[in-house]
Structure 1
Amino acid sequence: MNDTKASAQSADIAEQTERLARLTNRAMIASAQMQGHAVKQASGSEYALMDAGTLAKAYGTFWTDMMTDPGKLMDIQQTVGTEMMAAWQSMFGLSSDVPVKDKRFKDQSWSDDPIARSYRDVFLAFDRAANGLLDRLPDGSKDHMRVSFYTRQMISALSPSNYLMTNPVARKELMESRGESLLAGLENLLTDLERGDGRLDIATNDDTAFEVGVDLATTKGQVVFQNDLMQLIQYDPTTEKVNRRPLLLMPPWMNKFYVLDLRPGNSFIQWLVDQG
């Protein structure tokens, strides 16, 4: 019985090792693609979501404004110090736990593990202080809006819930699944990168759930023009006579471009074509 169990475990380890090797090869290719995009974005030959020059100007304006009111900055620093002290006291059980409403830390293990609790409390203290500072920014300035947006994104990225070594829930899942959760996560990441040719293209739907022309976009027609952003489709008439002036439809471009032509009996496009 023990020999059978040992053989099964050895087979699992061998399979995971082979799978990890394949994922490593995929990761090397994805990394090269990411570096290629980074070089193109730095040279200006490819569109970048974040312009470094614009962002530097925004933060420069932000700190200049803060220096004109040093009292405000000192208040924030004092608040940060107080919150950090409370967080460290909580780590050693010197203060009562405050209910945490953040959904990222809803699992009980964040409170039971003193190390994880300290990571959580320090992060939340920093998060509250930073958001308090951002809330004091005057409304209306584009630079301040940029600072607020990007700062909140960076703070969210620093959450201990995002990292294996600081997330007790992820560590527990790693042990219980014998490494499967880590391999599955890595495979999902690489699939998203491969889908975007080196850019992170996170899937929001099951690509295999529908088939174009069968149960999605079933109205017959031809693409008569296309560019990098759009396709112009001319649908085949279903009536003997059609209106002289064509009807141009511009559906939402973000994710819901298919909503007007779903399937037979549930297609606004097909209904319009049938009206001539």
Structure 2
Amino acid sequence: MTNETTTTVPGIEDWQHWALVMARANQMIMEAWADNLGKASHMPGFGLPQPPSKSADPMQWMSAGAEAWSKGLDAWSEMLGQYSTAGEQKDRRFGSPEWRESPIFDTVRQSYLAISDKLMGTVEEIDGLDEVARNRLRFATKGFVDAMSPANFMATNPEVMKRTIDTKGENLLAGLKNMLADISRGQVTHSPEGAFELGRNLATTPGKVIYETKLFQLIHYAPTTDKVLETPLAIFPPWINRFYILDLTPEKSFVKWTVDQGVSLFMISWKSADESIRDVTMDDYVAAQVEAVDVIRDLLGVKNVHTIGYCVAGTTLAATLAYLAGKGEAAKVASATFFTAQVDFEDAGDLKLFLGDETMATLNQLTSETGVLDGRVMAATFNLLRGRDLIWNYVVNNYLLGNDPPPFDLLHWNGDVTNLPGGWHRDYLMRLYRENMLVKPGGILVKGVPIDLTKIATPAYIQAGREDHIAPSASVWKLTRILKGPVRFVLAGSGHIAGVVNPPAAGKYQYWTNEQDAATLDEFVAGATETKGSWWPDWIAWLKKLAPKTVKATGARVPGGGKLKPIENAPGRYVKTR
């Protein structure tokens, strides 16, 4: 008996189909080219440099880029050939069985992993580098290694090749459509358009906008309990993002959960920057926080307010507390909770890699006309910090496999970018991240008041994420050594977002507490007690212990029931303005 190999010869219908696919692809490319060429100078370009000048030949620029990529791929292929084996590693980029069913692709996979380990290891072995230079090289090398993964290219991804054969190229056509749409939008799509809508399936906690300025709206949420804590709570979310990270779906909403615990809750919704607020500064954001506190105090007739500051708004909250202390008005704030907030930026992590003179010059150029930084630039920067998960994963899924990304509320929020006042953003990066001025007593003035964080005696709850890549836990910890009032520090499992947005019902992650005084984070961890699940119950217990008195949830405790009449329903229009 002889083995026979059957070869399927493409028929005329197959060739016609492929010709049609290529024609449609060419048409899509030309239409996109015509649509986007005229506005190239206004697009953030996924954080990459734009052509050197408006007079430069775009075709020449693109050809040069393609040639560089081609040479890079050739060199990479040669490097892969030098390494044939590597230890088995779990990596979801190579999770499909096609990577192991073929000896060729299995070798490609293992060789790539071996090369990756070798390159990353070499960074640690180079002599003569200071830590700053080594961090920059480590970040750049990791970015290069992730970008050159064989999973990112059709010719070296067996799953993509199989899909291409099975669909007769329709996946590539769908992927091209996705890619051109993303180029037009100026950002990678992480969640399908139309899957989520504010007020419909996101940010649905009932409430009213009761106050607004040119910089923020103040939302008052409707009580769900007969009695509420007498001392209300004001949340200051980051102005670089939309506030509804804390009010996603009802199951994940920190806002809804907190209201259900019997808290009179107010949320600040920052306006996405336009030219009307292009010149706002740190003084304005501190003044806005003070104004919100005063409005709430006056509305409810209370002497003080609990506060929460998330990320950069937590940094500003620290400045606000120091400002109030400097004016003798610290009693306006009953407590301060800090979600992943830094004030000492000496060890601020990978974001410090984006603070060079060239970055500042680019930011200045991007904001020179309008004074506003397009939010897509900031989003691209954050995506680069997790390039494997937030860039290349979607290159493969959306562009090569031709899939639409699955609906995901958190990633919808991540792509709902916010424009920033350009001057204030550069000032924030320069004075806080680069020069670390906030932690220096009197280093910064706010409305003429020297800011000294060591004067803050307000009770504080400080939460950090163990795996936070934006506000590293070691950096957040430093706040405990600066504040002079009673402090409770909690280290939560996961990172900058999931470490915060972790509802108790989910039963995910864990957190660590230590009732003994610890001089360092390592000492805290060494003596810490681990508790499974969300840290939210620990926080609400701390808050209620500080000020346990309750009042009936009537009158001004109901949105619109006091002297401030409703302007519109939550979540308001500011959060919907791009």
Q: TM-score, normalised by structure 1?
A: 0.57
1:152 equivalent among 121, 139, 142: 142
1:234 equivalent among 213, 218, 225: 218
Give the conservation status (yes or no) of the 8 Å contact 1:214–1:263. Answer: no
1:116 equivalent among 98, 105, 110: 105
Residues in 2 aligned to 1:25 and 1:9: alpha-carbon distance in whole angstroms: 25
Change (3 A) 1:41 1:233: farther
Change (3 A) 1:98 1:154: closer
Q: Does 1:106 align with 2:95?
A: yes
Change (3 A) 1:112 1:214: closer
Q: What does residue range 183-194 of structure 1 map to in structure 2 within 5 Å? A: 183-194=173-184
2:122 equivalent among 122, 133, 136: 133
Greater helix content: 1
Give the conservation status (yes or no) of the 8 Å contact 2:18–2:168. Answer: no
2:29 equivalent among 16, 24, 38: 24
Q: CA deviation at 1:261?
A: 4.3
Residues in 2 aligned to 1:204 and 1:174: alpha-carbon distance in whole angstroms: 22
Residues in 1 aligned to 2:111 and 2:179: alpha-carbon distance in whole angstroms: 28
1:272 equivalent among 259, 265, 289: 265
Change (3 A) 1:183 1:235: same
Q: CA deviation at 1:165?
A: 1.1
Residues in 1 aligned to 2:178 and 2:39: alpha-carbon distance in whole angstroms: 17
Specify the code of the residue in structure 1 equivalent to 2:99. Answer: W
For residues 179-219 of structure 1, give each alpha carbon's deviation from its aligned partner in whole angstroms, at most 9, with x where no partner exists: 111112112222222222xxxx2233344123223443453
Gap regions ≥5 residues in structure 2: 1-10, 54-78, 224-230, 267-555, 559-578
Change (3 A) 1:170 1:214: closer
Gap regions ≥5 residues in structure 1: 1-5, 44-80, 91-96, 227-231, 240-244
Change (3 A) 1:110 1:146: same
Q: Does 1:173 align with 2:455?
A: no
Q: CA deviation at 1:149?
A: 0.8
Q: CA deviation at 1:275?
A: 2.5
Q: Which moved more, 1:155-164 or 1:32-41?
A: 32-41
Give the conservation status (yes or no) of the 8 Å contact 2:108–2:150. Answer: yes
Instruction: State the match for 2:517 in structure 1.
Output: none
Q: Percent identity?
A: 28
Change (3 A) 1:223 1:154: farther
Specify the code of the residue in structure 2 equivalent to 1:213. Answer: G
Q: CA deviation at 1:39?
A: 6.2
Residues in 2 aligned to 1:109 and 1:237: alpha-carbon distance in whole angstroms: 51
- Secondary structure of the residue aligned to 1:153 is helix
Instruction: State the match for 2:213 in structure 1.
Output: 224
Give the conservation status (yes or no) of the 8 Å contact 1:26–1:190. Answer: no
For residues 80-113 of structure 1, give each alpha carbon's deviation from its aligned partner in whole angstroms, at most 9, with x where no partner exists: x9x96551xx7xxxxxx96453332333433444
Change (3 A) 1:184 1:253: farther
Specify the code of the residue in structure 1 equivalent to 2:25. Answer: L
Change (3 A) 1:150 1:30: farther
- Secondary structure of the residue aligned to 2:218 is strand
CA RMSD of aligned residues (A): 4.4
Instruction: State the match for 1:251 in structure 2.
Output: 237
Residues in 2 aligned to 1:144 and 1:261: alpha-carbon distance in whole angstroms: 39
Instruction: State the match for 1:211 in structure 2.
Output: 197
Instruction: State the match for 1:60 in structure 2.
Output: none
Q: Does 1:142 align with 2:132?
A: yes
Residues in 1 aligned to 2:101 and 2:248: alpha-carbon distance in whole angstroms: 49
- Secondary structure of the residue aligned to 1:220 is strand
Q: CA deviation at 1:257?
A: 2.4
Could you say which structure has the greater relative contact order, defined with CA pairs below 8 angstroms and 6 or more residues apart?
2
Change (3 A) 1:170 1:194: same
For residues 41-87 of structure 1, give each alpha carbon's deviation from its aligned partner in whole angstroms, at most 9, with x where no partner exists: 968xxxxxxxxxxxxxxxxxxxxxxxxxxxxxxxxxxxxx9x96551
Q: CA deviation at 1:260?
A: 3.9
Instruction: State the match for 1:56 in structure 2.
Output: none
Q: CA deviation at 1:175?
A: 0.6
